[in-house]
Amino acid sequence: MDVLNLIGGRWVEGDGAEFADTNPARPAEVVARGRHASPAEVGRAIVAAREAAPGWAATPHHARAAVLTAAADLVDADAEEWGAELAREEGKTLPEAVAEVRGAARILRYYASEADRENGEVFASPRPGEQVLVVRKPIGVAGLITPFNFPIAIPAWKIAPALTYGNTVVWKPSSLVPLLAYRLAGALTSAGLPDGVLNLVYGEAEAGSAIVDHPGVDAVSFTGSTAVGRAVIARCGELGKPVQTEMGGKNASIVLADADLDHAAEQVCVGAFRSTGQKCTATSRLIVAEQVADELLHRVAERAARLVVGDPLEAGVEMGPLVSSAARDRVTAGVAQAVGEGAKPLAGGASLEREGWFVPPTLLDLPGTGVDFWRTELFGPVVGAVRASSAEEALGLANLSDHGLSAAVFTRDLGFALRAVERLEVGVLHVNSESAGTFPYVPFGGAKQSGFGPKEQGRAAREFYTRTVTVYLGTPA
């Protein structure tokens, strides 16, 4: 399959380097081919978005919403086919991949429904004959940079609010997953999006920098690693541009002695191993009350050992490969380092001798929090466990991280759950469910080095994709 860049309403091959998108379960199989956009083409995409911005902003909100709804219908209609393509290029199991495609359609519909909600506020004025209005206007051109791990869902939750609030978009997806980007952009253009409103450019770091640096881009939304995100934040600060980042996570699950251990073990495995652990909200650290630690770890290890790992398109497979050889090597090196520092593998821990970028679901019994694993995000199906002597110690251990995206607590103690809400330094907290997972109608984002700027999703997205104008509306005397 050949994929193309979308610039100013035209599908173009690109003047940059060639790239090949391969199947991580069968690396010799090419899923898609294309060419990166050159920096000059990225610039043309930004100019096209700039030229289209006034017309799109002036389009009635319900007309903009109709495009999102029509695109959602197209995405839903092809969900099974696109899900299989997603599984082939990214490595999710087929059920997860199809669910992600359908989730993207739900996100488009949610933001289409914004047309039916209030779009400002009216305040009383102390002066006679005057009202104070707060109205919202689009920010202009939004530069969006998205990662590989949710190749249609994350783009949808950036593009949909940008468009519904009247902005135009220049979007750079990860080159590891170009096909689903091509599909989503195609659905939006087929749904009637005017030329230049959405521009899709493939590229690596150079293309991302071209988007961030260009004076025609009014704001930048980035999802990816903490290191790159911090560089984007710094550069946008220099340029005085609004920026929104969702970065890494090192998410903890706390299991207290009163928890339902079967349920906790199941949810820890889901949080750690679903999507091959390649999600920023995945469970990476496990903190267990020492009274039940051996029993809980035994249950998690048993479940991990039973997981069926294989080609994500095959029926019954529960975990696919990592996205690339580099990802596989990074995860296996991280596990080896942890073992070298005293961690004991209770499940997994060794390489899988098979074609593709596979690693086994791995549970490590850590010697303490001093090991590098406690601090470093591996972005793979590996969870490391420590024991806590008290509930208060467990909260302290969970906060012992530079990241603060998500956490989970498992307990029947409502008082502890409420203390966790108060004490845990995270943006997302699950009580008696896995650390991963979010709904499109509520805010999503992290604390500390996991996020910067306004939150994503729900109505929180409006705080980034619009700016307010306060109007003092008086009547002539």
Q: Contact, 289 vs 244, CB < 8 A?
A: no
Catalytic residue among 41, 96, 100, 246: 246
Residue 365 tokens, joined: 């019994």
> What residues have CB less than 8 Å from 336, skipping those under 6 apart?
none
Q: Which amino acid is at 447?
A: A
Q: Contact, 307 vs 319, CB < 8 A?
A: yes
Distances (CA, A) of 339 to 217, 333, 349, 364, 437: 46, 10, 9, 8, 30
Q: Which amino acid is at 35?
A: R
Q: Contact, 65 vs 112, CB < 8 A?
A: yes
Residue 177 tokens, joined: 């997953």
Residue 423 tokens, joined: 């004490």
Distances (CA, A) of 303 to 178, 299, 346, 361, 364: 34, 6, 11, 9, 14
Catalytic residue among 41, 90, 236, 280: 280
Give the closest residue to 162 by CA, choosing from 114, 118, 211, 202: 114
Return the beta strands (E) in 247-348 as ranges. Answer: 251-255, 283-289, 344-347
- Looking at residue 279, what DSSP letter applies? S
Distances (CA, A) of 176 to 46, 93, 150, 363: 23, 17, 11, 28
Name all contacts of 261-266 with Cβ < 8 Å and 24+ positions apart: 261/292, 261/295, 261/296, 261/299, 262/299, 263/410, 263/432, 264/296, 264/410, 264/432, 265/296, 265/299, 265/300, 265/303, 266/303
Output the CA torsion sign for 156, 75, 1, 8: negative
Question: Is 246 a catalytic site residue?
Answer: yes
Q: Contact, 142 vs 168, CB < 8 A?
A: yes
Residue 78 tokens, joined: 């092809």
* Active-site residue list: 246, 280
